[in-house]
Structure 1
Amino acid sequence: MQIYRLLTGDDTSAFCHKVSEALSKGWVLHGSPSYAYDAANGVMRCAQAVTKEIDGDYSPDMKLGAQ
């Protein structure tokens, strides 16, 4: 089955490392990244969807970051 995560963060190298780590664990980019200004905090924010094929059935109790 395929599972989905949306990675988000400030526009810093930490966000790039978060996405790179997910890719190194078998996650695959899904669609284009998003980039928007967070006026409340005065920063640019990024988002990238990723998916991964896993064995078993989905459960809302899954820790997606641990997959």
Structure 2
Amino acid sequence: MKLYRLLTGPDDASFCHKVSEALSQGWELHGDPAYGFNNESGRMQCAQAVIKHVSGKTYSPDMKLSEQ
């Protein structure tokens, strides 16, 4: 089974740590990162898709993807 997550956050070190943590847990980058301005916060935001192949599991909408 292949899982997909979209990581988002402010354009700062916390976003880089979020992506690095996912990579250290076996997630892989999927596609290019996205970058845009958030009018509400007045800050730039980042997004990065990640995927992970897992075996022996069946997908359920109740899964906590960050715990896979």
Where on the TM-score scale, by shorter chain, does this alignment land: which range? over 0.9
Q: Within 2, Cα distance between the matches of 1:23 and 1:57?
A: 22
1:8 aligns with 2:8: yes
Q: Which runs of 5+ in 2 are unaligned?
A: none
Query: 2:7 corresponds to which letter in structure 1?
Result: L
**CA deviation after TM superposition for structure 1 residue 43, in Å:** 0.3
How well do the aligned residues superpose, as a CA RMSD in angstroms?
A: 0.5
Q: Within 1, Cα distance between the matches of 2:54 and 2:21?
A: 17
1:53 aligns with 2:46: no
Identity among equivalent positions (%) equals 61
Query: TM-score normalised to the size of structure 1?
Result: 0.97
Query: 2:62 corresponds to which letter in structure 1?
Result: D
**CA deviation after TM superposition for structure 1 residue 64, in Å:** 0.3
SS in 2 for 1:31: coil
SS in 1 for 2:60: coil
Q: Within 1, Cα distance between the matches of 2:42 and 2:53?
A: 36
**CA deviation after TM superposition for structure 1 residue 41, in Å:** 1.1
Query: 1:65 corresponds to which letter in structure 2?
Result: S
**CA deviation after TM superposition for structure 1 residue 57, in Å:** 1.0
SS in 2 for 1:50: strand
**CA deviation after TM superposition for structure 1 residue 40, in Å:** 1.4
1:37 aligns with 2:37: yes
